[in-house]
Every structure is written in structure tokens, then in C-alpha cells.
Amino acid sequence: MDALIHTRFNFPQLTKKYEGKVRDVYTIADQYLVMIATDRISAFDVVLPKGIPYKGQVLNQIASKFLDHTSDIVSNWKIAAPDPMVTVGHKCQPFAVEMIVRGYLCGSAWRAYKARIRAISGISIPNNMCENQAFDTPIITPTTKAEQGDHDRDISREEILSSGLVTEEDYALLEAYSLALFQRGSEIAADRGLILVDTKYEFGKKEGKIYLIDEIHTPDSSRYFYNQRQLSKEFVREWLMENGFMGQAGQVVPEMTPEIVASISDRYVELYEHITGESFIKSPYNGDLVERIEHNVLNMLARLI
């Protein structure tokens, strides 16, 4: 089964195309974004050589649902999701930082902690903590927003303000919105028998107003616990590490056999069903996939421009 790896659309009034690690983003009339969630998969800030069927649909549909469920907390960029793999929304000027909210010590934070690092993004971490232990209250550990091929870098609140990346007034709002979104995500997760462990949020500004942008509470941007099992793409990182790859110079991505690709695809479908509480309906995945996306997006744009 083929996966959607690249897109080459020429939508009307196209002013820019940006290819991220996972999403292809088309700017229309310098006002709107068409964000296509491809089936590319990244880990350790490296795009892996093979795509994962249905991954794009999983991510797009989860993000779309959570954008709807949190719009009362902060306005978001979404206008509509005209295709299972596409969201169309407002173009915003993104802030140059990502807001990482952590409720538990795990993942990259735990790997740093094992290396005797006791601060993340300027936030002190107590001694004698265990893997997967909850923090007394969720902490915010921002990172820089890296371009493709670069690595995100931890950055403190003080560094963000002193460098002028975000004003103090806006940063206070980003913190408040991030914690409120994490609280809402945690409540929704609890209703599904899950624990929202950590996640990232991205924000932008349009006409002086802050918007939540990009994905939210997906298995690529978040980590969940379910019966002591992690629900996130951490299983992909663990498979890579077991095979000697952590995105460092000279390391080679292990072979992604059809069996490995199929197992990752099945895992994403499983994540969707746990996170949303709904059965995943696979959209048609044949030679007409590109035509379907183009048709649905063109119909949407005809109503916007």
C-alpha cells in the first residue's frame, strides 16, 4: 500500500508552499493555509525514509477534533477540514517558540534526567524522581521552533523574553493558554481511561490576536499513558534506538520493512481509537488519493476566495 509522501498541488492564488517534517503547507492569497498531513514520519528531528499509510489521516482527524473541543479556551486557526488529510485555516505569524507542557517525567526529559541534568528550559527538576513520576504541577519547558533538518533547542522563559522572541505580555498569555489546554486535554483523556503525559502547543498571531495553530493532542505531538503503556510515537523512537539510531551524525536509519511499516500504521490506528473513543474509518487509499485531496480542497477554496 502506497503512502502519501509528497504533494505537488498548484492551488489557485498560491503564494507559498512549505514542506515541514510531516505536513505540506500551502499559503493561499497570503490569507489562508491549506495544511496537508502527509504520511511522512519523523523521529529525533529526522524524516524517516518510508511513509506510514493512514498516519496523515489519523493526525489530521485527531487534531481537528481537539481544535473544536478547545476553541472556547483560545481561538484557533482552523476554518474547516475538507478532507480526512487536510485542514484549511487562517494564516498566522507563528511565534518562534513551542510550548511544551509536561505532567510527568518521561521521554526526552527522563533521558536527560538519567544523564544527571536537573533543569529543563530553566525549570529545576527535583532530585530522586523516578521514570514516569508525576510532577507536583505541570511544568512548561519551551523549545525553539526548528527549521527542517535542525534540532529544537530548550530555551528558558528568561531567554525568550531577553531575546525578544516573545513580548512579556504575550508570553504570559501563551503560558496561561498552554496550561488551560493541557488541563482540558487531561480531562478528555481521563474520560477515555487515558493520562495525558506531555504535549506541545504552537501559537501564532493575526491582526494582533493570538491563535492556537498546527496540531494539538495527537500522538505525534503528545504522549499518553494507558494501563502503564505509552500511547504516542515513542514506540517508533524506541524501535530506532534499539537499532542504533538516535538522529546523530553517522547513524543510519534501520531498514523499514513492509512488516515494520504495517505495524506502525496499525499502531497509529490504535492510538486514534483510544484517544478519540471512536472507530477509525479508513478513507479510500488507492490511486485516486491525490485527486480526492485536490478535489476537496478546490471546493473549499472556491468558498473562501
Q: Report the alpha-carbon distance of residue 182 to residue 203 in Å, rounded.
A: 14
The percentage of residues in the chain with a pLDDT greater than 70, rounded to a whole number, is: 95
Tens of pLDDT, residues 156-180: 999 999 999 999 999 999 999 999 9
Predicted TM-score (pTM) of this structure? 0.88
pLDDT of residue 45: 81
Q: Report the alpha-carbon distance of residue 107 to residue 18 in Å, rounded.
A: 29
More reliable by pLDDT, 235 or 124: 124
Q: Which of 6-20, 32-46, 49-63, 275-289 has the lowest mean pLDDT?
A: 275-289
pLDDT of residue 245: 93
Tens of pLDDT, residues 4-13: 999 999 999 9
Q: Report the alpha-carbon distance of residue 221 to residue 198 in Å, rounded.
A: 8
Asked if residue 284 has pLDDT above 80, the reply is no
- Residue 300 CA from chain centroid, whole number: 24
Q: Could you tell me the three cell numbers for 56?
A: 496523515
Contact 177, 210 (CB under 8 A): yes
Asked if residue 285 has pLDDT above 90, the reply is no
pLDDT of residue 151: 64
Tens of pLDDT, residues 39-58: 999 888 889 999 999 999 99
How sure is the predictor about 130, in pLDDT bands with cuts at 50, 70 and 90? very high
Contact 108, 61 (CB under 8 A): no
- What average pLDDT score do residues 245-265 get? 91
Same fold, 14-93+256-304 and 94-235: no
Q: Report the alpha-carbon distance of residue 185 to residue 204 in Å, rounded.
A: 20
Q: Residue 226: CB partners within 8 Å, gap ≥ 6?
A: 193, 194, 195, 274
Count the neighbouring beta carbons within 10 Å of the beta carbon of residue 49: 11
How sure is the predictor about 287, in pLDDT bands with cuts at 50, 70 and 90? low
* Nearest CA among 272, 274, 74, 255 for reference residue 190: 274
Asked if residue 20 has pLDDT above 70, the reply is yes
Q: How is domain 94-235 classified at the architecture level of CATH? A: 2-Layer Sandwich (3.30)
Domain 14-93+256-304, CATH number (from 3.30.365.10, 3.30.200.20, 3.90.1150.10, 2.40.10.10): 3.30.200.20
The amino acid occupying position 301 is L
Q: Residue 205: CB partners within 8 Å, gap ≥ 6?
A: 92, 93, 95, 170, 211
For residue 250, is it left (φ>0), alpha (ψ between -120 and 50) or beta?
left
Q: What is the CA radius of gyration of the chain?
A: 19
Q: What residues form DSSP beta bridges with 102?
A: 139, 198
Domain range summary for the chain, segments of one domain joined by +: 14-93+256-304, 94-235
DSSP string, 290-303: HHHHHHHHHHHHHH
Asked if residue 82 has pLDDT above 60, the reply is yes
Q: Could you tell me the three cell numbers for 268?
A: 497509529
Tens of pLDDT, residues 132-159: 999 999 999 999 986 654 567 999 999 9
The percentage of residues in the chain with a pLDDT greater than 90, rounded to a whole number, is: 80
